[in-house]
Structure 1
C-alpha cells in the first residue's frame, strides 16, 4: 500500500465530452481556473490538454498552451504542470481507400508533437508508449522510432516523461527505452485503464500491469468512467499514485455531473479512508525526482 499518495488531475482532455457536460473547461482561463481549484482541493499534479475556444475540440495550438500555462504560473497556487504530448497521432482509415487517411486524421512528426512542450517547458510531459486501436475505426499512432525521438528530446530539455501505458506491450517498449538510455532517473509510469481497446479498468489488469513495471519505479493508475474511483482505491492498495479528472470521467455520482475540484475531493476522501495521506506538490517533486521550483 502507498501511504503517501500523489493525486494528478486531468482537467479537460481532448475527447467529445463537451457534448455531455456543458462545464468542461474549454478556454485557457477556464482550464487554468480548473487547475487551480483542483490543486487547492489536493491535486499535486495537473495534466493539461487545451481546446479550441470556438469549437471545444481538442487542440495542439502552441499559443493556447502558452496562455494556459502562463495563467497557472502567474497564480499564487503551486502545482506540478504535466503537459500532454499525445496529440498528433490520430489515424482514421478512409472509407474509400483504407491505405489513405480519412477525415479527422492528424499524424505529425515527433518534433511537431513536442512543439508546445518546448514552448512552455513543463516539469512533466506524457509519452504514450505504443500504437493502439482507440476506437472501432480509429488508430492512435505512436511508433517506436517516434517515441525514441521524443524521449531523447525531452531528456535533453530536462522535462520528465510520464510513460503512459495502455497495455502490457507498452510497458515492454518503455523498458526498452530505459535499456537504451532514453529514460533516465527513476521512471514515471501512468497505467491507463478502460480505454477502447486497451487494458480493462479492473483489478486484474492493474495488478498485471503493475507487476510488469520495472523495479524502482514511480507509478500511478486510473480508470475511466464509473471505474475512476474504484481504480483510485486499487492503485493506492497496490502501492501507486492516482489520477482523476474530467478527462477520464464526467460524473461525481450516477447522473450527477462533476467538477475537477469535486473529483479531487472524492479521491482525497478515499485515500484518507484507506489510512493514507495526500501529499502536496513540494513533496511530490521530491518523490518524483523533479527539481524544486
Structure 2
C-alpha cells in the first residue's frame, strides 16, 4: 500500500465531452485556470490537453499549449505540468477506401506529435506506449514511432509518463527501457476501463502492475463511475492516482463534477485509507523530477 500519494488531475482531455457537461475547459485561459484550481485542491500534477477555442474539439497547436503553460507558470501556483503527447495517432478508415483516413482521422509525424514538448520543456509528457482499438477508431503508435518519440523526449530532458492501456503496452514500454530509450526508474500510468483496453478491475490493474519494469513507479486511473474506485485500488496496490474531467464528468449520480471537486474527493479517499497527499515539491522528489523554469 502507498501511504504517500501523488494526485494528478487530467483537466480536459480530447474526448467528446463538450455539450455533455456545462463547464468543460476549452480555451487556454480556462484550461490554465482548471490546472490552478486543481492544484489548490491538492493535485501535485496537472495533465494537459488543449482544445480548439472555437469548436471545443481536440487540438494540438503549439500556440495553445504555450498559452496554457505560460498562464500556469505566471500564476504563482506551483504544480507539475504534464503535457500530452498522445495526439496525432487517431485513424478512422474510410468505408469506401479503408487504406485512407476518413472523418475523425488525425495522423501526424513524430516531430509534430512532440513539437510542443520540445519547445516548452514541461517536467513530464505522456508517451502512449502502443497501438490499440479505441472505441470506434484505432490509435496508431508503432514500435519505430515509439522509439523515435522516446529518444526525442529523452534528448530534451523531459520525463516520460508511460501510458499503458493493456498488457502489450507494458511489454513495449519495458522493451524501450531495456534498449536505453527510457531512463530508470520509469514512471507509468495505468489507464483502466478505456474501450477496448484493460478493464477497470483489480485483476487487470494487478497484472499490469506486476509486469512493470523493476523499480518503476506507477499511477492509475479509471473512467466514468470507476474513477473513484480506481483511486482506492491504485493506492492499495502501491500506486499514485489520477482524476479529472478528462476521465469522468460526474461527482455523484446526476451531479456534474469539476476538476476541483474530483481532486477534493480523491484526497478524501486517500486520507480515509490512512494516506497522505503529497504536494508538488514532494512529488518532484519522489518522482525524481527537475523543476522547469
Instruction: Tell me the alpha carbon deviations over residues 235-284 of structure 1, each in whole angstroms, 9 at most, x when there is no partner.
Output: 00000000000000000001100000000000000000000000000010
The 5 A counterparts of 1:1-293 are 1-136=1-136, 138-292=137-291
**How far 1:211 moved relative to its partner?**
0.9
Helix, strand or coil at the partner of 1:162: strand
Question: Secondary structure at 1:226's aligned position in 2?
Answer: helix
Question: What whole-Å deviation, never above 9, does each CA across 1:71-125 have from its counterpart, x for those lacking one?
Answer: 0000110000000000000000001111211112111111110011112110000
1:185 and 1:289 in contact (8 A); partners too: no
State whether residues 191 and 209 of structure 1, in contact with CA within 8 Å, keep that contact through their aligned partners in structure 2: yes
Give 3-state SS (helix, strand or coil) of 1:190's partner: strand
| Structure 1 contact 192–221 (Cα < 8 Å) conserved | yes
TM-score by structure 1 length?
Answer: 0.99
Q: Structure 1 segments of 4 or more deviating over 4 A?
A: none
- Segments of 5+ residues of structure 2 without an aligned counterpart are none
The CA deviation at 1:291 is 1.4
Query: Contact between 1:129 and 1:170, CA under 8 Å: does it hold in 2?
Result: yes
Larger displacement relative to structure 2 (259-268 or 116-125): 116-125
TM-score normalized by structure 2?
Answer: 0.99
Give the 3-state SS of the residue equivalent to 1:266 in structure 2. helix
Whole-angstrom distance in 2 between the partners of 1:208 and 1:77: 37
Gaps of 5+ in 1: none
Are the counterparts in 1 of residues 123 and 291 from structure 2 also a CA contact under 8 Å?
A: no
Separation (CA, whole Å) in 1 of partners of 2:213 and 2:128: 17
